[in-house]
């Protein structure tokens, strides 16, 4: 057995032992009485002593998954230098070493090709490494602004929020709806607790958890008193003790499998482009080698030339330019208060043509104000407010904007202290998204117990059998029910959200309350809230539509309120689909509606996710913006999930993009950045592909008809190096405003057609240059003789040097000119100006190659000065080239709709 296999086997055995120990520990935790378990973990129900926190962390480890951390310097270096293109160049270095050094006598050994190719690999790798390092550090700084926390109680301290990575074994953690489970825990207190653990078990439905001690022997994942890191609380509340953290958790033991991700559309597109260019190179290089070998009779020199062609065809800067474009996009977006968690998602941001969003806080100001607290007759009644306050104040789950508005209104009316002093909380029935209501049980100083429920009007009406009317409790008959609905509808039409309040006195024995108690209740009134639209929303929606993005509102709120708010911001409220409508429709029926309907109301989380899925199936690129528990499913389903830094933990974890401002205007800027990023990446790909395609035709013609190589291998490699350096400025280039108006999805299909249109043009001008050089310029400098008429070896060498120098300069000019011509569909320099950096880099590149024959270093590359008449001819060619490419651009745009 080899050392490698032995180490691998030992690592596998160690992992198996670790998993067995973990299962044993979790089973033990589930079966032990709570007191015994706390003793074993050096903890108490009041929490562990702060004095032993460090000791616990040293003993059991930190609460982080090591394999979730970004790769170190070594990994970034490896990723920067190892990709299909640089591997090809490294292979060519080896071949060049064999042909130019190993097989040559010492005096004829030539390291030039090896040095230049190695330099290209080094520049590409170093630039990519530097960009990714800078991007990684920037992302770390940005992500420090977003911190997931959990509520922990420690001995002698009040329960407080602490960062999840500071949780240690033995900590007492309190859970509520919307929380992520921070570690593997044993529960000792639960109240209607439902956990979504699909990431662990694959179960789509939430699982109920209870605090009772387990007695049966079964897989520990099935124990109902255990919850696991990575799952989240759908509804209810609980308290538990941390049993395992970090890599010792269940998700820690399988995290590598969990973290495996499917290729995104962006990654698939990049791979398709890469292999298209590589396949093209693999076909052309052998053809060039054999043609030159047979026509020139020198297969060694033909091999060297073929290697140079391979170098020229290899777009080794593509990974670096892609990384730079994405990194610049992330940086620019951070300036717009947008945090990019996943760099590849930037391009997806620019691709979306549908943005789904919730209503509260996005369309509206996120400042819900309680306008009215009304009895059933529609009269102002502080008693309704008092009951609503008790419900909001004493619930342990997430206090949403409704609860905050109720508490604030109570404080304004100076009722707060009096109510708090008079009542004590006994129990609660937490909110969940299926019931759409929540209840608390309180007791006053006279020992009167009340069950108080608030929630959606239709849900409250469904559990009420009685109504309090004019101070008397009577049966809730249809006439009163219809009256309530009419009053609520009128308030909804004014854009107000209405919830109902009900109560029941002395319902049953204390500590035995559940959902089943929410029946035969007394309706006492309702509350009307106003959350007006943001002043910027109407303009933002109009701006997004201007950029080809349809805005669709997907909300759990009622349809009348949603319609009123949406119409105020310019959306079409004539057609609304409700969750109940969707339940009756097949997927195909829904697909026929998604393009027509912009407002969807009374949706469950599953219905939001279904809508996003069907929009994608219809060919749309969908973004989803949400901040609540009920948005996480849809965000995961979307092409790009967008959240805000104030969102619940689950929503932030599901997001690719996090906004520091919950404003649609910020999204508009992000979408523009995404399209700029894509545009600059596709520029390089199409420029390189068309240039390479044209060069191959030129090389094939030259190989077939010229008695010598059109360019020396080292000259060809030099040309490629200087051209690639000029292309490093492309990520800083401008994009035309008209290009940014359409969503941009990655598509490699257009590259072939682009190559066929623009590649042959450069070939035609290359051939014209061949004719000019061979029949005019070279004879002019060689005594008026053509190559086959020359007997002198030195004159022949001068003939070849003039020809190769001329084609080198012309190639640099045309390649640089192509960058300026193809970067825009408009007239370059006049209607569309390049960025200063791109103009500077391309100008320097042209100057270097043009001046090189006139300086001593030019002799090293076997270049020679050319007469002025050559540049007059080439300048004329460039004018003709400009006209030809401009005409081809118009023909291409006419056929395919756009250039890039």
Please give the positions annotated as active site: 358
Residue 708 CA: distances (Å) to CA of 328, 603, 692, 815: 45, 74, 21, 23
Kindly state the helix (H) or strand (E) to which residue 444 belongs, with its residue range. strand 437-444
- From CA 65, how far away is CA 70, in angstroms rounded? 11
- Closest listed residue to residue 325, CA positions, set 310, 340, 313, 336: 340
- From CA 223, how far away is CA 233, in angstroms rounded? 16
- Closest listed residue to residue 162, CA positions, set 172, 152, 173, 175: 152
Kindly state the helix (H) or strand (E) to which residue 468 belongs, with its residue range. strand 464-469
Give the dihedral sign, CA 743/748/749/753. Answer: positive
Query: Could you tell me the two tokens for 633?
Result: 């499913």
Query: Could you tell me the two tokens for 152?
Result: 């922990």
Neighbours of 433 (CB within 10 A): 17
Kindly state the helix (H) or strand (E) to which residue 456 belongs, with its residue range. strand 449-456
Query: Could you tell me the two tokens for 690?
Result: 């068309």
- From CA 521, how far away is CA 524, in angstroms rounded? 9
Helices of type H across 376-415: 382-394, 401-412
Neighbours of 201 (CB within 10 A): 13
Contact 172, 45 (CB under 8 A): yes
Contact 863, 853 (CB under 8 A): yes
Which residues make Cβ contacts (< 8 Å) with residue 647, sequence separation at least 6? 626, 627, 628, 655, 658
- From CA 624, how far away is CA 538, in angstroms rounded? 19
* Residue 603: φ, ψ to 5°: -95, 145
Query: What is the SS3 assignment for 307-363?
Result: HHHHHHHCCCCHHHHHHHHHHHHHHHHHHCCEEECCCCHHHHHHHCCEEEECCCCCC
- Closest listed residue to residue 743, CA positions, set 668, 631, 643, 811: 668
If phi over 0 gives left and psi between -120 and 50 gives alpha, with beta otherwise, what is residue 470? Answer: left
* Residue 411: φ, ψ to 5°: -65, -40
Residue 604 CA: distances (Å) to CA of 178, 627, 630, 803: 15, 15, 7, 73
What secondary structure does DSSP assign to 217-274, as a single string? -S-GGG-TTEE-TT-EEEEEEEEEEEEE-GGGSHHHHSHHHHH--PPPHHHHHHHHHH
Strand 640-644: give its sheet, edge to edge: 338-340, 657-659, 640-644, 622-625, 354-357, 550-554, 599-601, 576-578
Query: Could you tell me the two tokens for 354?
Result: 């549908």
Query: Could you tell me the two tokens for 531?
Result: 């959350």
- Closest listed residue to residue 552, CA positions, set 530, 535, 569, 534: 569
Contact 821, 889 (CB under 8 A): yes
**Can you tell me which residue has the tokens 């304004």?**
412
- From CA 333, how far away is CA 351, in angstroms rounded? 16
Contact 598, 574 (CB under 8 A): no
Is residue 746 helix, strand or coil? coil
Query: Could you tell me the two tokens for 404?
Result: 């905050």
Residue 97 CA: distances (Å) to CA of 93, 100, 102, 712, 859: 6, 5, 6, 17, 22
């Amino acid at each position: 057995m080899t050392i490698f296999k032995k180490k691998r086997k030992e690592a596998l055995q160690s992992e198996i032992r670790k998993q067995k120990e973990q299962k044993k520990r979790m089973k033990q935790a589930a079966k032990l009485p709570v007191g015994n378990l706390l003793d074993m973990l050096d903890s108490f129900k009041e929490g562990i002593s702060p004095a032993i926190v460090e000791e616990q962390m040293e003993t059991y480890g930190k609460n982080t998954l090591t394999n979730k951390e970004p790769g170190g310097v070594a990994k970034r270096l490896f990723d920067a230098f190892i990709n299909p293109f640089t591997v090809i160049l490294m292979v060519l270095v080896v071949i060049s070493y064999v042909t130019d050094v190993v097989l040559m006598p010492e005096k004829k050994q030539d390291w030039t090709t090896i040095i230049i190719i190695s330099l290209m690999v080094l520049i590409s790798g170093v630039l990519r490494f530097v960009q990714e390092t800078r991007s990684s550090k920037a992302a770390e700084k940005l992500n420090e602004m977003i911190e997931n926390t959990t509520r922990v109680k420690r001995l002698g301290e009040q329960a407080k929020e602490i960062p999840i990575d500071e949780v240690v074994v033995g900590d007492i953690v309190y859970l509520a709806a919307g929380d992520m489970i921070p570690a593997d825990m044993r529960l000792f207190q639960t109240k209607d607790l439902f956990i979504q653990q699909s990431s662990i078990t694959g179960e789509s439905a939430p699982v109920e958890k209870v605090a009772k001690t387990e007695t049966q022997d079964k897989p520990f994942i099935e124990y109902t008193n255990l919850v696991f890191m990575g799952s989240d609380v759908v509804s209810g509340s609980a308290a538990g003790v941390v049993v395992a953290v970090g890599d010792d958790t269940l998700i820690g033991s399988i995290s590598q499998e969990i973290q495996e991700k499917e290729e995104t559309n962006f990654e698939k597109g990049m791979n398709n482009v890469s292999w298209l260019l590589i396949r093209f190179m693999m076909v052309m290089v052998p053809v060039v080698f054999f043609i030159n070998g047979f026509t020139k009779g020198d297969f060694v020199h033909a091999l060297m030339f073929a290697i140079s062609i391979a170098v020229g065809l290899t777009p080794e800067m593509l990974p670096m330019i892609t990384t730079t474009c994405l990194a610049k996009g992330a940086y620019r977006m951070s300036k717009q208060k947008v945090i990019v968690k996943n760099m590849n998602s930037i391009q997806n941001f620019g691709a979306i043509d549908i943005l789904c969003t919730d209503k509260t806080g996005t369309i509206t100001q996120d400042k819900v104000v309680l306008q009215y607290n009304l009895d059933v007759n529609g009269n102002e009644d502080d008693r309704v407010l008092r009951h609503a306050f008790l419900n909001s104040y004493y619930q342990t789950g997430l206090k949403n904007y409704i609860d905050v508005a109720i508490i604030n209104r109570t404080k304004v009316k100076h009722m707060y202290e009096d109510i708090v002093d008079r009542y004590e909380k006994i129990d609660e029935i937490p909110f969940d998204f299926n019931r759409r209501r929540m209840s608390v049980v309180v007791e006053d100083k006279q020992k009167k117990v009340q069950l108080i429920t608030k929630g959606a009007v239709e849900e409250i009406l469904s559990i009420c059998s009685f109504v309090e009317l004019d101070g008397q409790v009577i049966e809730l008959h249809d006439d009163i029910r219809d009256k309530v609905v009419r009053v609520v509808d009128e308030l909804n039409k004014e854009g107000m959200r209405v919830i109902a309040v009900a109560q029941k006195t002395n319902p049953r024995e204390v500590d035995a309350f559940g959902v089943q108690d929410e029946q035969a209740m007394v309706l006492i009134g309702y509350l009307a809230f106003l959350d007006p639209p943001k002043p910027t929303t109407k303009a933002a929606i109009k701006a997004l539509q201007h950029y080809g993005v349809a805005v669709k509102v997907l909300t759990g709120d009622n349809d009348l309120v949603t319609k009123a708010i949406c119409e105020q911001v310019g959306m079409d409220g004539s057609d609304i689909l409700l969750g109940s409508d969707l339940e009756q429709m097949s997927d195909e029926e829904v697909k026929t509606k998604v393009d027509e309907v912009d407002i969807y109301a009374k949706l469950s989380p599953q219905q939001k996710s279904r809508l996003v899925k069907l929009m994608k199936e219809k060919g749309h690129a969908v973004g989803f913006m949400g901040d609540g528990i009920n948005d996480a499913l849809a965000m995961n389903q979307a092409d790009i999930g967008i959240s805000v830094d104030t969102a619940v933990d689950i929503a932030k974890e599901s997001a690719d993009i996090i906004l520091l401002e919950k404003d649609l205007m910020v999204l508009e800027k992000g979408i523009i950045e995404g399209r700029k990023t894509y545009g600059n990446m596709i520029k390089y790909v199409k420029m390189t592909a068309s240039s390479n395609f044209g060069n191959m035709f030129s090389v094939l013609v030259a190989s077939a008809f010229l008695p010598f190589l059109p360019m020396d291998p080292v000259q060809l490699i030099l040309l490629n190096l200087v051209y690639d350096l000029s292309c490093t400025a492309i990520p800083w280039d401008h994009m035309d405003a008209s290009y940014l108006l359409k969503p941009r999805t990655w598509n490699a299909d257009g590259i072939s057609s682009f190559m066929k249109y623009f590649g042959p043009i450069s070939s035609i001008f290359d051939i014209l240059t061949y004719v000019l050089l061979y029949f005019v310029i070279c004879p002019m400098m060689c005594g008026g003789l053509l190559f086959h008429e020359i007997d002198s070896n030195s004159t022949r060498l001068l003939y070849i040097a003039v020809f190769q120098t001329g084609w080198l300069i012309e190639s640099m000019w045309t390649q640089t000119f192509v960058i300026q011509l193809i970067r825009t569909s408009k007239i370059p320099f006049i209607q569309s100006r390049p960025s200063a950096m791109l103009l500077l880099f391309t100008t320097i590149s042209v100057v270097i190659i043009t001046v090189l024959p006139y300086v001593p270093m030019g002799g090293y590359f076997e270049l020679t000065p050319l007469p002025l008449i050559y540049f007059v001819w080439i300048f004329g060619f460039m004018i003709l080239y400009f006209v030809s490419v401009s005409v081809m651009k118009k023909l291409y745009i006419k056929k395919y709709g756009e250039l890039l």
